[in-house]
Amino acid sequence: MQRRNVLMSGAALLAAAVGTNFFGPRRAASAEDDYPISMTPDEWRRKLNAEQFAVLRQEATERPFSSALNSNKKAGVYHCAGCDNAVYSSDAKFDSGTGWPSFWQPVNSEAVGSRTDYKLIYPRTEVHCADCGGHLGHVFDDGPEPTGKRHCINGVALVFRRADGA
């Protein structure tokens, strides 16, 4: 009986943690963060739609397979939806099958930053826009060569600009 109670309690705690943290908002990036482009939370709310604000400023995760950018095959550059910083090129995009746009590298080493994220208990590498600090997604070590990295990025955090300017 005691083992059953322990298992049930553990399952309940895990369900509560996953249910409230996996897809929902987290920490709100603030104007005090040290980035070249900074705004107050109210200014970001006026600039971004609700889903963009949740992902970029509160580190939420969009539902997999919900972004049209996941299947985009056009040539061009993906920009941060918060500040228009160029962050990823279509040249580095690949189909990871995960449900989010994936890239094996950013446009350059200064375009994005990273930090360790423990929100799911185990450490992950969170990637953010280097100009505004907006949360873009996470980086994993299961991507293709030449880097072996998979930048798994929320499509709602990006704006795509075609190479031909159209």
Tokens of 106: 């950013």
Catalytic residue selected from 83, 129, 132, 152:
152
Instruction: Return the SS3 of 155.
Output: helix
Query: Closest by alpha carbon to 152, among 125, 134, 115, 132?
Result: 125
In three-state form (DSSP H/G/I as H, E/B as E, the rest C), the secondary structure along 67-78 is: CHHHHCCCCEEE
Q: What angle do CA 75, 111, 145 make, to 5 degrees?
A: 60
DSSP character string of 45-69: HHHS-HHHHHHHHH---PPTT--GG
152 is known as an active-site residue: yes
Residue 107 has what DSSP assignment? Answer: S
Pairing of the two strands 86-89 and 112-120: unpaired
Active-site positions read: 152
